[in-house]
Structure 1
Amino acid sequence: MSVWSRHGVLEKVRDALAAVTIVNPNGHHLGRPFMTAYQLAIKLDEAHPEVARALGVEIGGSGIGSHNSLAQYLAHELSRGIKEAGGSYPIEGAFLSNDHVTALNYVTSDGREISSSATGSGLDVTLFRLRSADRV
């Protein structure tokens, strides 16, 4: 059984996306906010560190010395689910253009700084959010 199934990662991701801060309490005409794979990995790791431990990976970012990371794993699995299930998948994806972006930096709740390794690499910065009908 895969880590994805064994640890119920999809449900954990849905919980993390459902807990995204929504600045306007009345909602927004553009829908729920998107999160980058890094933001999602940070949020998931803070609530469920056992997932990264089971995978043997870190959250990710430039300088970790590995191409495998929790952010990369989540982006891959979510992208695969979206491609296979289309509009019936509970999460939707998008990507941020790398045009004129030189850095994306994140900070964990314990103050650890993470710099995106996707920025400027030619790789897309993936974004995810709950579908509007899911856990509104």
Structure 2
Amino acid sequence: MSVWSDQNLDDKVVEALATVPVGSETEHHFGRPWITTYQLAIKIDAQHPEIATALGVDVGGLGTGRQVSLAQYLAKQLSARIKQGGEHYPIEGAFLSGTSLTELSFVSQDGHEIKSSMTNSGFDLSLFPPSLTMAPNQGYLLSPCPGSALLHHSPA
């Protein structure tokens, strides 16, 4: 079996996505916020550190000196599963354009800054929303959470 299957990662990803906080108590017509793969990796690592251990990786980020990471693993696996499962897969994906984006930083569970290695790489960043099969308002948290992103962009 694979780490994905052994660790039941489909359910753990859906669980992590269900805890993405919203900015206000009122429902917005845009729906729940999407998160980057880094934010997802931070949430998964905080809730289930055994996954990164089983893979032998860190959350990832610029300056880690490693070519593989939990963020990269999640993005690759989710992309393949979304493609294979289509509309029947409980998670969908999208991209955040790297155009005019010079830095994307995150705060890990333990307070360390993680900088995306994807900015200025020529690649777009993967984004994931809450599961399509979740009931509205399920899992909404209204407090700040680790993994909040700081976006910096260059003027147009």
- The bucket for the TM-score relative to the shorter chain is over 0.9
Query: What amino acid is aligned across from residue 18 of structure 1 in structure 2?
Result: A
Alignment of structure 1 residues 1-136 onto 2, 5 Å = 1-136=1-136
What is the DSSP-based 3-state SS (H/G/I as helix, E as strand, rest coil) of the residue aligned with 1:103? strand
CA distance in 2, matches of 1:70, 1:109: 14
Amino acid at match of 2:86: G
Deviation for aligned residue 1:10: 1.1
Unaligned runs of 5+ in 2: 137-156
C-alpha spacing 1:132/1:7, structure 2 compared with 1 (3 Å): closer
Q: Which has the higher contact order (CA 8 A, sep 6+)?
A: 2
Q: State the one-letter code of the partner of 1:73.
A: Y
**Residues 59-109 of structure 1, C-alpha deviations (whole Å, 9 max, x = no match):** 000111111100000001111111111111111100001110000000112
- Cα contact 2:16–2:44 (8 A) shared by 1: yes
Alpha-carbon distance in 1 for matches of 2:87, 2:24? 26
Amino acid at match of 2:22: I
Q: How far apart, in 1, do the equivalents of 2:32 and 2:14 lie?
A: 13
* Percent identity of paired positions between Structure 1 and Structure 2: 53
**1:131, distance to aligned residue in structure 2 (A):** 3.7
Give 5+ residue unaligned stretches, structure 1. Answer: none
Q: TM-score, normalised by structure 2?
A: 0.83
CA contact (8 A) 1:31 1:132 kept: no
What stretches of structure 1 move > 6 A for 4+ residues in a row? Answer: none
- More divergent stretch after superposition (17-26 vs 54-63): 17-26
The DSSP-based 3-state class of the residue aligned with 1:41 is helix
What TM-score, normalized to structure 1? Answer: 0.95
Q: 1:18–1:135: 8 Å Cα contact kept in structure 2?
A: no
How well do the aligned residues superpose, as a CA RMSD in angstroms?
A: 1.1
Instruction: Give the superposition deviation at 1:130.
Output: 2.1
- Give the partner amino acid of 1:63: G
Q: Distance in 2 between matches of 1:48 and 1:71?
A: 14
Q: For the residues of structure 2 that align with 1:102 and 1:75, how far apart are their CA atoms?
A: 21
| Change beyond 3 A, Cα 1:87–1:81 | same
